[in-house]
Amino acid sequence: MKEFSEKVYALLQIEPSLPEPLARVAPLIVTEDWLGAYRDFSMIGRGLDVISKRLSEPERLRSVFEEMISLYEPLSSVFAEFYPLLERFARLR
């Protein structure tokens, strides 16, 4: 996650044609490490809550985090099996 975040932050800092709203907030994204904050699973819930406030039907997103919590273990197990296969596939390409 750290390497990914650093690459995204580097791009945000050098990209001259960011949309104006993103250009305004990009310095905060970088200095406050918004992407890195998602290492804390509860921050995903907070992020979803912020996004839901911008939707015309916010209630459709509000229950997602609880569902993510209930499915975390089974999805993690499946992901642990799937990801090495994905990596091997990508290396062979």
Q: 61-84 pLDDT, tens per residue?
A: 888 999 999 999 999 999 999 999
Comparing 26 with 59, the larger pLDDT belongs to 26
Number of domains composing the chain: 1
Given this model, what pLDDT does residue 59 score?
A: 85
Find out whether 62 and 49 touch, Cβ atoms under 8 Å. yes
Given this model, what pLDDT does residue 63 score?
A: 86
Residue 92 has pLDDT above 90, yes or no: yes
Say how far residue 50 (Cα) sits from the centre of its chain.
13
Residue 2 has pLDDT above 90, yes or no: no
Given this model, what pLDDT does residue 93 score?
A: 86
Given this model, what pLDDT does residue 68 score?
A: 92
How far is residue 83's CA from residue 73's CA, in Å, rounded to a whole number?
A: 15
Domain around 68: 2-92
